[in-house]
Structure 1
Amino acid sequence: MMKRTIYLGISFLLLLAGLGACKKGNTYYEDYQVKYTSYDGTTLQYLEDQGSTYDSLLLVLERVPDLRARLKDPADTLTFFAMTNNSFNNAIDGMNAIRKAANRPFLYLEDVPQKLMDTLTYHYAFDGIYDTDNLKDFVEGKVIQSIDDYRMTLKYKVSSASGIINGGQQQIILSDMNNSIFQRYWQESNTSVVNIRTTNGRLHILAPSHNYGFSKLATYLK
């Protein structure tokens, strides 16, 4: 009898603990709101202020001075999708793997033709403000023209967490439409960080798995 009483008591405590955890979890996700990380400086200053994380991107921006100037200008307003060094490594490695198979010499970022580098990099920049707050109502995503009038798609997404659907991290899916209305031809990439508010726009960080140029370096320079 004593053992049964102890067992029932422990079971009751575990049940209360489980209910408490569920309540806390549900409250957290129900109250989940758009949050911004504010940076007191321009988008370019933010990238320069992050140590070596964006070295490759900053190198590319040196070669794309028009975009660099806009990201630096406090009077301008841009939404920009930044990439860490890994995204550029993915692109260079993929391109050189194909070139190696064809017995062609390796190429690197400084070897990319200027026109191609301009085009690929412009596709990550958009006039105005686009963040999760003004994208979440577009269920199928929103077609946006980049600063060189190339059509891309931005789509709001919330990942699942702890078994709760749409209860996790807010994300934006950036898609290269490849000049097609058919989604099967699009190439998409997810973000790892969204909604960084700088003094001249919004900054989103693409996941490290992203391939700079949406694999187009391998296509054009193979």
Structure 2
Amino acid sequence: MIKRNIQISSKRLAGYGLKVLLAVICCSAIFSCKKNDSPYYDYRNEVQEFDGDILAYLNANRSQYDSMLLVLDRLPALKDSLVNRKLTVFALNNKCFQTAISELNQARALQSKRKLSLQNSDILELDTMMSKYLIRGNYGTERLSPFVDGSYVESINHDYPMHILYKKINASGFEGGGPQVLTFSDPKGSIFVKFWERTQTVAVNIKAKNGVIHILSPGHVFGFNEFVKRINK
């Protein structure tokens, strides 16, 4: 009787061991699948090329950049530079401007002032703010990546200093294997980062014939937190 019980127990232990082994195999397979299914597992930081100048790129994607193009139409010298000069442009989609205008008119409503739009906002102030997104020279990620503390760059007008910091995001299981991201900052004349206004890109390295285009997050508000102050006069 005792011998029979020992045999039964041995069978149960063997069965239990088999179950554990199968569970380990399944878990390994699931982990492996998750890793392979990660959107960044096989990520490649590829350069996109556009067969045209920077202005042509914005026009080709007008549904996203209507507002930026509207401001550039009011600033012909800046608009011309997108065709005839070597630039790095941080492109802003329509939401960046819509948020700025909404905040402006909320402030003006509290002051019983009439609404304003991009069509009738102060043109000199628009020039000052828009110029910050147009950087002299070609700053693709390959040029920016060696500088761990980022690079100071100059805006096309007013020689205004801006700052670009390169980073490669970690992907699942791959340190530094994910997308490239640029942090684009207005230092506000300060050497202390805590006083800077900062935003990030959602796409980089769109190469046009006269420069490179990086796309800013739609959460960025045009003007680096100065739009209301500058326009609400």
Sequence identity percentage: 35
Gaps of 5+ in 1: none
C-alpha deviation, 1:164, in angstroms: 5.6
Matched position secondary structure for 1:214: coil
C-alpha deviation, 1:33, in angstroms: 5.2
1:212 and 2:222 matched: yes
Give distance in 1, aligned partners of 2:43 and 2:149: 22
1:178 and 2:207 matched: no
Give distance in 1, aligned partners of 2:46 and 2:73: 31
Which of 32, 43, 51 is equivalent to 1:20? Answer: 32
Give distance in 1, aligned partners of 2:192 and 2:17: 65
Native 8 Å contact 2:150 2:164 kept in 1: yes
* Alignment match, 1:65: 76
Structure-2 change in CA distance of 1:210 and 1:163 (3 Å): farther
Structure 2-normalised TM-score? Answer: 0.84
* Alignment match, 1:200: 210
Structure-2 change in CA distance of 1:52 and 1:23 (3 Å): closer
Q: Deviations over 1:54-107 (max 9, x none)?
A: 11011111111112112123xx31100000000001111111111111221111
Give distance in 1, aligned partners of 2:35 and 2:68: 43
Structure 1-normalised TM-score? Answer: 0.87
Q: Deviations over 1:125-168 (max 9, x none)?
A: 11211122111222221111111200100011223444765443
Structure-2 change in CA distance of 1:23 and 1:111 (3 Å): closer
1:46 and 2:57 matched: yes
Matched position secondary structure for 1:54: helix
Which of 132, 142, 148 is equivalent to 1:139? Answer: 148
> How many residues of Structure 1 are paired with residues of Structure 2 in the alignment?
218
After superposition, the CA RMSD in angstroms is: 2.4
Native 8 Å contact 1:154 1:173 kept in 2: yes
C-alpha deviation, 1:171, in angstroms: 0.8
Matched position secondary structure for 1:35: coil
Native 8 Å contact 1:34 1:132 kept in 2: no
* Alignment match, 1:116: 125
Which amino acid in structure 1 is aligned with residue 52 of structure 2? G
Give distance in 2, aligned partners of 1:114 and 1:137: 38
Give distance in 2, aligned partners of 1:84 and 1:23: 33
Give distance in 2, aligned partners of 1:115 and 1:12: 67
Which amino acid in structure 1 is aligned with residue 65 of structure 2? Y
* Alignment match, 1:157: 167
Matched position secondary structure for 1:109: coil
Gaps of 5+ in 2: 1-11
Which amino acid in structure 1 is aligned with residue 20 of structure 2? L
Structure-2 change in CA distance of 1:115 and 1:51 (3 Å): closer
